[in-house]
């Protein structure tokens, strides 16, 4: 299948590419299977050294520049492209250090006696042979490697199926991987769309999927038919609660970033804000002032990320249309900036008079929207925040430690930031189990991020052949007759 290569910063199509055909996915995975045996057998120290060569290559000026160019053309964002590459190098360093500090993980546990005389047991570990990583467009490099790095360290081979919406960086990465054969033989890339993704799910031993709820469900069903594990990181509609005793100025600063960074096109964007009535007017006033200050300093099209695709533009327009039709008040923004044909950029859009009957408060928008609703009591705020099919992350602002604790305990979200938002983008040591429709499977953060790629094997031993037969052998023991 042929795909268009588009630049969201110019609105222009810049070529086409062909997706990897399902039969070619099969032969790629066969070659990974062959290479994985040696990769796993080499041991964790050799694998960490291999990944260090890959990390050094990423830091090489020429490769770095090529990747930044490709990522910037894919996403229309230059600063975030730098951030993605430094995010990947720090992810590599973190996991490499973890592997050295926890090398014992790769050894079988010590032999343990059992309650039955002359029998012992031991737990060994081996790697899932080939993991399929299917990634989205919004942070295409980082989200392709966030699962790949720990899987490779665990001893797995990996096939990455990046998003067809942002393909250029993957062309460069393919070349880079080929220049580091120790990693490039066990980590391969198959470009393409849904069909290529399906071909991956049909052939791997486990799948890590990051993307929308709708596609995640299809991947989960397909994986279930093959009885392979599926680790799913899906969409969200993250809520923030601001209590009257919070530092409103600081809450506004962080939430303006949390709602509009990358034009709201991050899974952990804050997409709805609940503010206690006593400080609601102050919150709206401060937010409006900050937005206007930003806009007056430089044109929005210079600092706001473009909306990635026409499909995403259609979602944004439908959420705005629905909100307006139901009486929402668009306090700032809410229309497209003057930009070249095909380029879609929107200023931070502060929206009031909203309710949960509007799609802007219930469905993932992936837009620079800041919809704000007042509340009176803590239980009302928790009820509103939990009134969602999503459970990705949330944020709570208060100066009272007991309120923060009570509310974070009550929120149905897999990560909660206190007095800030989106902290899972920077802090990765704490595991978070997916909740509601925002995911399934084991955490990609914390130690689980690596352990989920290691299978346990129980090795159970009868100590000596001359020992008496155990009691469960049928009628074999004369004493039982």
| Pairing verdict, β 349-352 and 369-375 | parallel
The neighbouring-strand residues paired with 458 are 123
Nearer to ligand NAD, 66 or 432 (CB): 432
Name the residue among 182, 185, 180 with its Cα closest to residue 56.
180
Nearer to ligand NAD, 180 or 268 (CB): 268
| Count of beta carbons in the 10 Å neighbourhood of residue 26 | 13
| Count of beta carbons in the 10 Å neighbourhood of residue 12 | 13
Nearer to ligand NAD, 210 or 362 (CB): 210
Provide, rounded to whole angstroms, the least separation between the CB of residue 199 and ligand NAD.
Answer: 9
DSSP letter for each residue of 152-197: HHHT-EEEEE--TTS-HHHHHHHHHHHTSHHHHTTEEE---SHHHH
Provide, rounded to whole angstroms, the least separation between the CB of residue 45 and ligand NAD.
Answer: 30
Q: Can you point out the beta strands (E) in 265-386?
A: 270-276, 329-330, 349-352, 369-375
Nearer to ligand NAD, 393 or 398 (CB): 393
Nearer to ligand NAD, 318 or 352 (CB): 318
Provide, rounded to whole angstroms, the least separation between the CB of residue 143 and ligand NAD.
Answer: 5
In terms of residues, how long is the chain? 481
Nearer to ligand NAD, 29 or 35 (CB): 29
Provide, rounded to whole angstroms, the least separation between the CB of residue 266 and ligand NAD.
Answer: 7
Provide, rounded to whole angstroms, the least separation between the CB of residue 444 and ligand NAD.
Answer: 7
Identify how many contiguous H helices and E strands the chain contains and give both numbers.
18, 18
Nearer to ligand NAD, 219 or 404 (CB): 219
Provide, rounded to whole angstroms, the least separation between the CB of residue 111 and ligand NAD.
Answer: 40
Q: Is 429 helix (H, G, I), strand (E, B) or coil?
A: coil
Nearer to ligand NAD, 81 or 276 (CB): 81
Provide, rounded to whole angstroms, the least separation between the CB of residue 312 and ligand NAD.
Answer: 8
Nearer to ligand NAD, 66 or 231 (CB): 231
Cα–Cα distance measured from residue 416 to residue 330, given in angstroms and rounded to the nearest whole number = 28
Cα–Cα distance measured from residue 138 to residue 140, given in angstroms and rounded to the nearest whole number = 6
Provide, rounded to whole angstroms, the least separation between the CB of residue 89 and ligand NAD.
Answer: 19
Name the token pair of 100. Answer: 């050295």
H or E element in which residue 300 lies: helix 300-303
- Contacting residues toward ligand NAD, per CB under 6 A: 134-138, 143, 161, 163-164, 193-194, 197-198, 201, 210-212, 215, 218-219, 233-236, 267, 364, 392, 439
Provide, rounded to whole angstroms, the least separation between the CB of residue 21 and ligand NAD.
Answer: 15
Nearer to ligand NAD, 193 or 342 (CB): 193
Provide, rounded to whole angstroms, the least separation between the CB of residue 203 and ligand NAD.
Answer: 12
The residue sitting closest to ligand NAD, measured at its beta carbon, is 197
DSSP letter for each residue of 242-269: E-TTS-HHHHHHHHHHHHHGGGG-STT-
Q: Cα 179 to chain center, whole Å?
A: 27
Nearer to ligand NAD, 185 or 266 (CB): 266
| Count of beta carbons in the 10 Å neighbourhood of residue 10 | 16
| Pairing verdict, β 238-242 and 349-352 | unpaired
Provide, rounded to whole angstroms, the least separation between the CB of residue 429 and ligand NAD.
Answer: 16
Cα–Cα distance measured from residue 251 to residue 372, given in angstroms and rounded to the nearest whole number = 13
Looking from the CA of 52 toward its CB, the CA atoms found within 13 Å total: 10
């Amino acid at each position: 299948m042929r795909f268009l290569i588009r630049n969201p910063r110019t609105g222009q199509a810049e070529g086409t590419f062909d997706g990897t055909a399902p039969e070619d996915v099969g032969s790629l995975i066969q070659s990974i299977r062959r290479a994985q045996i040696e990769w796993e057998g080499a041991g964790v120290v050799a694998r960490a050294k291999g990944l260090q060569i890959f990390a050094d290559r990423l830091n090489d000026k020429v490769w770095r520049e090529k990747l930044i160019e490709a990522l910037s053309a894919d996403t229309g964002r230059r600063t975030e492209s730098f951030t993605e590459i430094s995010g990947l190098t720090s992810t590599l360093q973190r996991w490499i250090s973890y592997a050295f500090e926890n090398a014992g993980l790769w050894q079988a546990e010590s032999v343990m006696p059992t309650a039955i005389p002359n029998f012992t047991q031991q737990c060994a570990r081996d790697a899932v042979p080939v993991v399929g990583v299917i990634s989205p467009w919004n942070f295409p490099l980082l989200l392709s490697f966030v699962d790949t790095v720990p899987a490779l360290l665990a001893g797995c081979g990996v096939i990455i199926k990046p998003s067809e919406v942002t393909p250029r960086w993957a062309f460069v990465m393919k070349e880079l991987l080929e220049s580091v054969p120790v990693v490039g033989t066990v980590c391969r890339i198959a470009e393409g769309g849904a069909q290529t993704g399906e071909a991956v799910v049909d052939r791997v031993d486990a799948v890590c999927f990051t993307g929308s709820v709708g596609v995640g469900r299809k991947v989960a069903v397909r994986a279930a038919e093959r009885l392979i594990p599926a680790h799913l990181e899906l969409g969200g509609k993250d809520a923030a609660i601001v209590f009257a005793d919070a530092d409103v100025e600081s809450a506004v600063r962080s939430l303006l970033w949390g709602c509009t960074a990358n034009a709201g096109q991050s899974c952990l964007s804050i997409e709805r804000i609940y503010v206690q009535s006593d400080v609601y007017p102050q919150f709206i006033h401060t937010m409006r002032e900050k937005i206007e200050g930003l806009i007056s300093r430089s044109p929005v099209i210079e600092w706001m990320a473009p909306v990635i695709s026409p499909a995403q533009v259609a979602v944004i327009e439908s959420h705005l249309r629905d909100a307006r039709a139901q009486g929402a008040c668009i306090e700032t923004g809410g229309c497209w900036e003057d930009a070249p044909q095909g380029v879609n950029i929107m200023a931070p859009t502060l929206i009031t008079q909203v309710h949960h009957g509007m799609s802007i408060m219930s469905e993932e928008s992936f837009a620079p929207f800041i919809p704000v609703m007042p509340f009176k009591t803590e239980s009302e705020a928790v009820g509103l925040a939990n009134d969602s099919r999503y459970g990705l992350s949330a944020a709570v602002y208060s100066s009272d430690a007991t309120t923060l604790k009570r509310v974070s305990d009550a929120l149905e979200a897999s990560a909660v930031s206190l007095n800030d938002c989106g902290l899972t983008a920077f802090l990765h040591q704490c595991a978070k189990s997916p909740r509601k429709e925002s995911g399934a499977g084991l955490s990609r953060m914390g130690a689980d991020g690596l352990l989920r790629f290691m299978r346990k094997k129980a090795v159970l031993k009868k100590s000596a052949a001359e020992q008496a037969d155990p009691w469960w052998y049928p009628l074999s023991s004369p004493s039982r007759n």
